[in-house]
Amino acid sequence: MKNKLYLILIFTFLTIIMMDVSVFAHKVNVFAYVEGEKIYTESYFNDGKKCIDSKIEVFDNQGNKLLEGLTDKEGKFSLEVPSEDGDLKIVLTASMGHRAEYSISADELRGAVGLIKEEPEEPVSIVSSETSLVDLKEIQSIIEDTLDEKLKPIMREIKKSREDKISPAEIIGGIGYIIGIFGIIAYFLSRKR
Partner 1 sequence: MHISEGILSAPVLVTGAGLTATAVGYSLKKMEHKEVPKVAILSSVFFVASLIHVPLGPSSVHLILNGIIGLLLGWSAFPAILVALAFQGVLFQIGGITTLGVNTLNMAFPAIICFYLFNRGVRSENNFIALTLAFVCGFLAVLLSGTMVAVALVFTGEPFIQVAKLALIAHLPVMILEGALTVFCIGFLRKVRPEILEI
Backbone angles phi, psi at 80, to 5 degrees: -70, 145
Stretch near partner 1 under the rule CB under 8 A, chosen from 19-27, 74-82, 113-121, 146-154: 19-27
The SS3 call for residue 3 is helix
Stretch near partner 1 under the rule CB under 8 A, chosen from 102-110, 112-120, 151-159, 180-188: 180-188
Ramachandran class of 90: left when φ > 0, alpha when ψ lies in -120 to 50, beta otherwise: beta
Q: How far apart are CA 123 and CA 132, in angstroms?
A: 8
Q: Does 98 help bind partner 1 (rule: CB under 8 A)?
A: yes
Choice between 91 and 133, CB closer to partner 1:
91
Q: Which of 51, 88, 100, 109 binds partner 1 (CB under 8 A)?
A: 100
Q: Does 52 help bind partner 1 (rule: CB under 8 A)?
A: no
Strand order across the 88-94 sheet? 65-70, 55-60, 88-94, 98-104
Q: Does 103 help bind partner 1 (rule: CB under 8 A)?
A: no
Q: How far apart are CA 144 and CA 147, in angstroms?
A: 5
Stretch near partner 1 under the rule CB under 8 A, chosen from 35-43, 60-68, 139-147, 162-170: 162-170
Q: Does 65 help bind partner 1 (rule: CB under 8 A)?
A: no
Q: Which of 72, 85, 135, 170 binds partner 1 (CB under 8 A)?
A: 170
Q: How far apart are CA 66 and CA 68, in angstroms?
A: 7
Q: Which residues of 18-30 are buried (b: 16+ CB within 10 A; e: fewer)?
A: eeeeeeeeeebbb
Q: Does 74 help bind partner 1 (rule: CB under 8 A)?
A: no
Count of chain residues binding partner 1 (CB under 8 A)? 44
Q: How far apart are CA 193 and CA 60, in angstroms?
A: 57
Contact footprint for partner 1 (CB under 8 A): 1, 5-6, 9, 13, 16-17, 21-28, 47, 49, 91, 93, 95-101, 164, 166, 170-171, 173-175, 177-179, 181-183, 185-186, 189-190, 193
